[in-house]
Amino acid sequence: MNVVITGAAGFVGSHLCERFLSEGACVFGVDNFSTGVSGNLSDAVRNPAFQLLTADVSHDFDDVISRAAAPDIVLHLASAASPLEYSVRSIETMEVNSAGSAHCLEWCKRVGARFVFASTSEAYGDPTEHPQSEEYWGNVNPIGPRSCYDESKRFGEALSMAYSRLHGVDVRIARVFNTYGPRMRAHDGRVVPNFIRQALCGDAVTVYGEGSQTRSFCFVEDLCEGLYRLATRQSASGTVVNLGNPDERTIAELAEVVSRLIGVPLRVEHGPLPVDDPRRRCPDISRAKRLLGWEPTTNLEEGLSKTIAYFRGELVAAK
Ligand code: NAD
Ligand code: UDP
């Protein structure tokens, strides 16, 4: 099986490369290293079944086509994912989810490959239905600061379905909910790396607003198992599937759990709630259970402990 993974050097992409390599696939990874890190691929590059190309999938796609073997599956993960990153790279984020997706889809159409699009729970915006099932159309501010991400992912979904309907491309869309784990960058701005970094350094954790907003955190190995099944099961063709952990927590509760696991007293510094910050988020994963036989198996405490161990190692290495 030949697999192309865009965003291969990123947090999720690097774990996903390893997941496919462990199944005996040949993996061709593409990344422009805008938010990716080469060290994330230090295990993968030792595997002869792995190849890496530095390229921008929004602009240099001819390079990808000329160097990669004809793929059976293209998984398009390239895109900033952290609100901090996509706000400073708003135009690139829109390009990679629109032009980047179009390049991948056109290639899939030409060679008869399957396309898997990493969409997001942000497609639901600040949801008025709870929990969010795939039937829900969302509540997105089309011109707000998050719109470069939300709307370009929604466009990527619409484009995928257009290629499916018009050209019969086998597309699968994952709406990925908040995922955490080793290889997140300490300063990428997302809540899990922020809280862990702050608590390990003896700083107060920065809770935005009162901390009553909720998220549902999925460990990266669980997500990659879901993405692997979505990409490889016949039954998943033409579908959109939520992939996330339905264990919903407030951000204030997350701050407590992180501090307890690190063994420091909880110290909180409140900051302003970002504009359009979704108030609640929790996936309905019935479809993933039914279609893929998938549900997360790592609980928050276990996943956070592994992530904290990774960050401790990174902090020691940085000294
Ligand atoms: P990340 O920032 O760690 O990884 C993204 C990777 O894409 C980086 O390596 C970056 O360099 C690369 N990239 C960006 N633009 C590119 C381009 N034009 N050409 C080539 N490479 C490019 O983010 P992540 O958390 O690993 O997210 C991966 C994917 O999963 C994204 O599509 C994101 O939207 C989606 N997702 C992630 C989460 C999450 O919680 N981690 C939640 C929802 C959706
Ligand atoms: N958040 C926070 N402190 C931080 C970083 C984030 O309180 O240091 C909050 C943020 O406002 C949001 C939630 O944590 O309500 C999740 O934020 P993140 O950026 O990780 O992901 P999002 O789900 O917003 O894309």
**CA 174 vs CA 112, 285, 292: distances in Å:** 20, 11, 12
Residues near ligand 1 (Cβ within 6 A): 6-7, 9-13, 30-36, 56-58, 77-81, 96, 100, 118, 120, 176, 178-179
Average the pLDDT over 243-261 and give the result: 98
Quick one: pLDDT at residue 81? 98
> pLDDT tens for residues 163-200?
999 999 999 999 999 999 999 999 999 999 999 999 99
Q: Which helix (H) or strand (E) is 150 found in, with range?
A: helix 147-167
Tokens of 183: 């290889």
**pLDDT recorded at residue 302:** 98
**How many whole angstroms from 221 Cα to the centroid of ligand 1?**
16
Calculate the average pLDDT of the chain: 97
Q: Hey, CA dihedral for 116, 56, 2, 72, is it positive or negative? A: positive
Q: How many helices (H) and strands (E) does the chain have?
A: 10, 13
Give the residue carrying structure tokens 């290293």.
33
Which atom of ligand 1 lies closest to the CA of 100? 18
List pLDDT tens digits, range 113-144. Answer: 999 999 999 999 999 999 999 999 999 999 99
Residue 110 has pLDDT above 90, yes or no: yes
Domains and CATH numbers, the chain: 2-177+219-243 (3.40.50.720), 180-215+247-277+298-318 (3.90.25.10)
How many A from CA of 82 to the centre of ligand 2?
Answer: 9
> What's the CA gap between 282 and 177, in Å, rounded?
8
Q: What is the pLDDT of residue 319?
A: 77
pLDDT at 317 over 90: no
Distance 158 CA to ligand 2 centre (A): 27
Condensed to tens digits (0 to 9), the pLDDT of residues 11-53 reads 999 999 999 999 999 999 999 999 999 999 999 999 999 999 9
pLDDT band at 269 (very low <50, low <70, confident <90, very high): very high
Concerning whether 136 is annotated as a catalytic residue, the answer is no
Does residue 216 surpass a pLDDT of 90?
Answer: yes
Q: How confident is the model at residue 315 (pLDDT cuts 50, 70, 90)?
A: confident
| Closest to 199 (Cα-Cα) out of 273, 272, 261 | 261
